């Protein structure tokens, strides 16, 4: 007698999952056409915010302290991020903790007590559009040498994450990649590195490699 086939149950994503893709833009003027597409073709409103992101590092882990000098923006956050899969910065564990009442000195003391050392700071200016299923962002990043780089980001809506499978989350990413394809937004242009990996100081990467034995100290 033929056995009935078992139904395949696809696992939904964990609540504390960040699912996003980033793309580097060569021309900052792309932001104007990006804004036109978001606002006129998709009827989305822009939320603009500038912030400082301070990174604290322990091995291959990091905490990010995000705050703004804009008094209208009262929210500040301490975020822990870690990869779910090796060499994959698209699907990561993300836990956010609001730290509005605390100043930078207190946050630094807290991070260092946990063994995370101050690494670097970047400044971001973000044009944020929230659709029903994703957040679309054009943002500019200034590093500590005041070098400027531009990015577009697609992030699956965090409220939807627990109700989605990985395949369903990918469908949302691909949907918006199709919309933004004229800007060079496509699968082969997805960035492999996170901002943390892009801006982390080289000596810290070397030290981590020495500690895990993958690099000889004299290299």
Extract the tokens encoding 203: 């000596």
Q: CATH number of the domain that 166 lies in?
A: 2.40.320.10
Terminal Cα-to-Cα distance of the chain (whole angstroms): 65
10 domain residue, yes or no: no
Q: What is the pLDDT of residue 5?
A: 60
Tell me if 36 is assigned to some domain.
yes
pLDDT at 219: 38
> Predicted confidence band at 215 (pLDDT cuts at 50, 70, 90)?
very low
Residue-number span of the structural domain to which 22 is assigned: 17-211
Establish if 178 belongs to a structural domain: yes
Whole-angstrom distance, CA of residue 207 vs CA of residue 115: 15
Query: 23, 190 in Cβ contact below 8 A?
Result: yes
Give the chain's domain count. 1
Q: Which tens digit of pLDDT belongs to each residue from 140-183?
A: 999 999 999 999 999 999 999 999 999 999 999 999 999 999 99
d(CA 27, CA 197): 22
Residue 58 lies in a domain: yes
User: For residue range 73-114, what is the model confidence (pLDDT) as tens digits?
Assistant: 778 999 999 887 665 789 999 999 999 989 999 999 999 999
Q: What does the pLDDT read at residue 214?
A: 47
Task: Decide if 34 is inside a domain.
Answer: yes
Residue with tokens 């101050």: 118
| Residue 66 included in any domain | yes
In a domain, 24, yes or no: yes
The pLDDT of 27-35, averaged and rounded, is 96
- Residue 217, in any domain of the structure: no
Q: How confident is the model at residue 209 (pLDDT cuts 50, 70, 90)?
A: very low
pTM: 0.86
What would the pLDDT profile of 114-129 be if each residue is shown by its tens digit? 999 999 999 999 999 9
């Amino acid at each position: 007698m033929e056995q009935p086939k078992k139904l395949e149950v696809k696992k939904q994503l964990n609540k504390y999952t960040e699912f996003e893709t980033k793309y580097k833009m060569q021309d900052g003027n792309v932001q104007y056409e990006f804004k036109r597409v978001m606002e006129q073709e998709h009827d989305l409103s822009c939320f603009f915010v500038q912030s400082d992101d301070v990174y604290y590092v322990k091995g291959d882990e990091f905490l990010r302290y995000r705050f703004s000098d804009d008094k209208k923006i009262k929210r500040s956050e301490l975020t822990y991020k870690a990869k779910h899969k090796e060499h994959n910065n698209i699907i990561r564990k993300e836990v956010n903790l609001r730290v509005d009442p605390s100043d930078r000195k207190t946050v630094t003391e807290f991070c260092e007590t946990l063994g995370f050392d101050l690494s670097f700071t970047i400044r971001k200016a973000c044009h944020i559009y929230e659709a029903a299923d994703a957040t679309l962002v054009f943002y500019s990043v200034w590093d500590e040498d005041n070098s400027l780089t531009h990015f577009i980001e697609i992030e699956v809506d965090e409220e939807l994450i627990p109700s989605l499978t990985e395949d369903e989350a990918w469908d949302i990413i691909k949907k918006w990649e199709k919309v933004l394809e004229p800007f060079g937004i496509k699968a082969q242009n997805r960035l492999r590195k996170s901002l943390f990996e892009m801006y982390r100081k080289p000596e810290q990467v070397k030290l981590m490699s020495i500690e895990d034995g993958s690099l000889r100290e004299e290299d």
